Amino acid sequence: MAHPRTPRLKNGVLHTDICVIGAGSGGLSVAAGAVQMGASVVLIEKGEMGGDCLNTGCVPSKSLIAAAHAAHAARQAGRFGIHLPPPEVEFAGVHRHIHGVIASIAPHDSVERFEGLGCTVIRAEARFTAPDRLEAGGQVVRARRFVIATGSRAAVPPIPGLDRVPHLTNESVFDLKDRPDHLVVMGGGPIGVEMAQAFRRLGSAVTVLERATILPRDEPEAVALLRGHLLAEGVTIEEGAQVAALHPGAEGQGLEVEFDQAGRRRTLRASHLLVAAGRQPNIENLGLEAAGVDHTPRGITVDGGLRTSNRRILAVGDVAGGPQFTHVAGYHAGIVIRRALFGLPAKADYRALPWVTYTDPELAHVGMGEAEAREAGEAVTVLTESLSGNDRARAEGAGEGLAKIVLGARGRILGATILAPRAGEMIGLWGLAIQKRLKVGDVAQMMAPYPTMSEISKRAAGSHYTPSLFSARTRFLVGLIQRVLP
């Protein structure tokens, strides 16, 4: 690799092409891409390199889920004629597994790696002092372009008594070395249901309190099936439950949760509380007013090209106020690279935005849901294929699941939902189809390997043609052709 440009120190000010604030997935992607393409880069991070995804989000949560899956598989082995003793969960060992995975990935996100690439890394809090400069660790930095990639953190709702009881968020739950006896999860979004199932499989009693319904952004049919899976495993789900107050438990042990449900007040005692009630952007203390950057409680205001009200400053990832996923932050990084380095008019396009809830089975979605498509005035056709008809699913003893495909006029693919083991690995096909504006017939004609779970996508697509292929008109036409063929 050619020697990269380096920031220049002049009159006490560090001048650079790109200054990135935040070393999470979005910021690191911008920094690595920009410096390797020849730009000078200053990277600023006040906390842990790797950000939320590596340290308190995707990596530790999926490591915990993997441990929980292993315990569950041992309990379920008897279905296949394999009889094992009940698994003994050593929670301290689960903790070691989680943090071992983090440690194995950390060098890829480390200061040493990025300095090796040619970035100047400053470990300090950054604060804008003017529209074209900031200060971090006593160093003034001036850049052609700034990229704010400070991410988000767990939102803590204003519930009476929450400040008086110990509670966990995604920033602390993975530090547990002892298994909770009874974990209450406040919030039934993706993080809440993932952690609920994982801790239940690891031996905790688990109650989910959700003020509306769990997973409200996903297709109701798929959520209903997933709810059944969770209940069957022993997760208690209280929907329509509004937490009213929290109290320390008797003799300082655990806590009590008061919540209102269906017009009556109920009290629940538990050993631990996990708050999974959404996220809030990290925008405090950045000096956004001095920089002339507009923002709201949802995050920094950006246009389609991720540019803020200050033309020098862009924002990526959770802090930009849009979809909050690691893969979105990486996608944003590509847009910033094209705009800031090459001056190209790149814009974010979320038509093929995928997301996955990593329960078992996984719930994966991309594009528009049925209700969203109808509200948009599309001529909607819905295709649904049950997982029960999939031979691989039967061989593996998989439970209920489905593929639901939402089509517009003339077979245009608008969205897809899959509830199945490893659905996150299968949803990419439908994302590519939406991105490339394919028709459902393109997927129906695909040759899928047998036996695989992914056949559910081909069968769902093929069902679009079933009414016409097996109609009386088709039978008449085939009969006519057979009479005239030699």
Q: Can you say which residues are annotated as belonging to the binding site for NAD(+)?
A: 187-194, 210, 278
Cα gap 140→483, rounded to integer Å:
86
Cα gap 320→24, rounded to integer Å:
14
Q: What is the DSSP string of 375-425?
A: HTT---EEEEEEGGG-HHHHHTT--S-EEEEEE-GGGBEEEEEEEETTHHH
Cα gap 186→57, rounded to integer Å:
17
Residue numbers belonging to the annotated binding site for FAD = 62, 150-152, 318
Residue numbers belonging to the annotated binding site = 62, 150-152, 187-194, 210, 278, 318
Cα gap 68→77, rounded to integer Å:
14
Q: 237 has which bridge partners?
A: 208
Token output for 208 = 């989910």
User: Do residues 186 and 275 make contact, with C-beta atoms less than 8 angstroms apart?
Assistant: yes
Q: Give the contacts of 59 (CB within 8 A, at least 6 positions apart).
A: 53, 101, 102, 105
User: Do residues 205 and 183 make contact, with C-beta atoms less than 8 angstroms apart?
Assistant: yes
Q: How many C-alpha atoms does 402 have within 13 Å on its Cβ side? A: 18
Q: What is the DSSP string of 423-483?
A: HHHHHHHHHHHHHTT-BHHHHHT----SS-TTHHHHHHHHGGGHHHHTSHHHHHHHHHHHH
Cα gap 15→281, rounded to integer Å:
28
Q: 412 has which bridge partners?
A: 439
Q: Inter-axis angle of helices 25-36 and 326-342, to 10 degrees?
A: 30
